[in-house]
Amino acid sequence: MKHPTVSQQTRTDAGLAAVLRVAVGRLARRLRAQRPDASLSLGQTAVLFTLARHGQMTPRALADHEKVQPPSMTRIIAALEERELVHRTKHPDDRRQQLVELTEEGIRLVRADRRRREAWLTQRLGELTPDEKATLRKAAEILDRLSQS
Amino acid sequence: MKHPTVSQQTRTDAGLAAVLRVAVGRLARRLRAQRPDASLSLGQTAVLFTLARHGQMTPRALADHEKVQPPSMTRIIAALEERELVHRTKHPDDRRQQLVELTEEGIRLVRADRRRREAWLTQRLGELTPDEKATLRKAAEILDRLSQS
DNA sequence: AGAACTCATTACTTTTGCTAACAGTATCTC
DNA sequence: GAGATACTGTTAGCAAAAGTAATGAGTTCT
């Protein structure tokens, strides 16, 4: 229990889990504070990007995808709709459901966000070696899969 | 804006930042829900592990390390102290400061947590290839450095 | 047709972090 | 050495974000 090195801690799956968990928690907190467009929450941004990638989705599908409970997604969508970044249409087959998709402005915002994202994280990434960035590229994809499974 | 692949999105630092941000946010949310000892928050667990690794630390040092404001750390420490996982002593040289360290029970809990962490994340990690796990090992260290800088 | 389930929402609560303001202590400057 | 200044930890009050429980509308199963 003295001062185990990181490599010692990550030899096992459990140790890796511990380290990863702390690292992800810390970075998430940091990101929450440093977000570029302060008026958009982390969750809202995530939904915008998910919609940009997948097109139309139902609120339920979005909630599942973002690993959030449906009421939370209702709120996120309401906030995005208020700002006209997103709009809802009725599901053609099932009148309980809705389909959410980006508005023109939503698409513009995603694009603009991509362009001008010289924010905190991008800067930090710039300080890394190409090798490290390559590692993160691969890791991002794995992390995404992890939270899906 | 149709369906760009991940590799397209991560070619640039900005694109990588976007993907990483979403992935980290999603995983952090997921971890919050899936944590092994439900009575311990993510922040509390992080502090426990930090103390296990660094020994005695002042509240201020802990706050800086966890990227949290001092009042938040006060609460985290208070909660841990309430459960007698941690205890405080006066700093020998500076009477403003305190030193926080794990109690015997805190050490036990960290050990037990490590042992019985067959929880969600560990299981998920088990499904990865050795290569992917190696990537995450490296990534964990980089992510940690990112949130420090 | 009725029971059971699903989807989205509302209402309420909990968690978690923040800023501002403070009391006590240390350090710097004259 | 005395007073100003800065730092440490805490309290108080607030805000953001997510969770659970309950509800109304719609669908599916038997």
Fold of the domain built from segment(s) B38-148: Arc Repressor Mutant, subunit A (1.10.10)
From first to last of the 149 residues of chain A, give the pLDDT tens digit: 445 555 556 678 888 988 898 899 899 988 888 766 667 888 999 999 999 999 999 999 999 999 999 999 999 999 999 999 999 999 999 999 999 999 999 999 988 887 776 678 888 899 999 999 999 999 999 999 988 87
Domain boundaries, chain A: 1-34, 38-116, 118-149
SS3 call for A141: helix
Question: Is the Cβ of A98 closer than 8 Å to some Cβ of chain B?
Answer: no
A3, A42, A113: residue with CB nearest B25: A42
CB contact under 8 A, B10 and A140: yes
**A78/chain B closest Cα distance in angstroms:** 20
What DSSP line would sit under A50-101, residue for residue? Answer: HHHHH-SB-HHHHHHHHT--HHHHHHHHHHHHHTTSEEEEE-SS-TT-EEEE
Question: What residue type is B52 in one-letter code?
Answer: A
Question: Is the Cβ of B125 closer than 8 Å to some Cβ of chain A?
Answer: yes
- How far does Cα B113 stand from its chain's mean position? 14
From first to last of the 149 residues of chain B, give the pLDDT tens digit: 555 555 556 678 888 988 898 899 999 988 888 766 667 888 999 999 999 999 999 999 999 999 999 999 999 999 999 999 999 999 999 999 999 999 999 999 988 887 766 668 888 899 999 999 999 999 999 998 998 87
How far apart are alpha carbons B43 and A25 in whole angstroms? Answer: 8
CA–CA distances in Å: residue B48 to residues A5, A22, B101: 16, 10, 9
Secondary structure E strands in B6-124:
86-90, 98-102
Q: Which CATH architecture has domain A38-116?
A: Orthogonal Bundle (1.10)
SS3 call for B99: strand
Q: For the beta carbon of residue B113, count every other beta carbon within 10 angstroms.
A: 20
Sort out which chain B residues have CB atoms less than 8 A from A67's CB and list them: 26, 29-30, 33
Which phi and psi angles does B125 have, rounded to 5°? Answer: -60, -35
Question: Is the Cβ of A38 closer than 8 Å to some Cβ of chain B?
Answer: no
DSSP B90: E
Sort out which chain A residues have CB atoms less than 8 A from B125's CB and list them: 13, 16-17, 146
Question: Is the Cβ of A99 closer than 8 Å to some Cβ of chain B?
Answer: no
End-to-end C-alpha distance for chain B, whole angstroms: 32
CB contact under 8 A, B28 and A23: no
How far apart are alpha carbons A58 and B8 in whole angstroms? Answer: 26
Q: Which nucleotides of C are covered by protein (CB under 7 A)?
A: 6-12, 15-21, 24-27
CB contact under 8 A, A31 and B21: yes
Q: Which long-range contacts (CB under 8 A, 24 or more apart) does A129-137 make?
A: A132/B138, A132/B142, A133/B13, A133/B16, A135/B135, A135/B138, A135/B139, A135/B142, A136/B16, A136/B20, A136/B139, A136/B142, A136/B143, A137/B7, A137/B10, A137/B16
Tens of pLDDT, residue by residue over A38-59, are 678 889 999 999 999 999 999 9
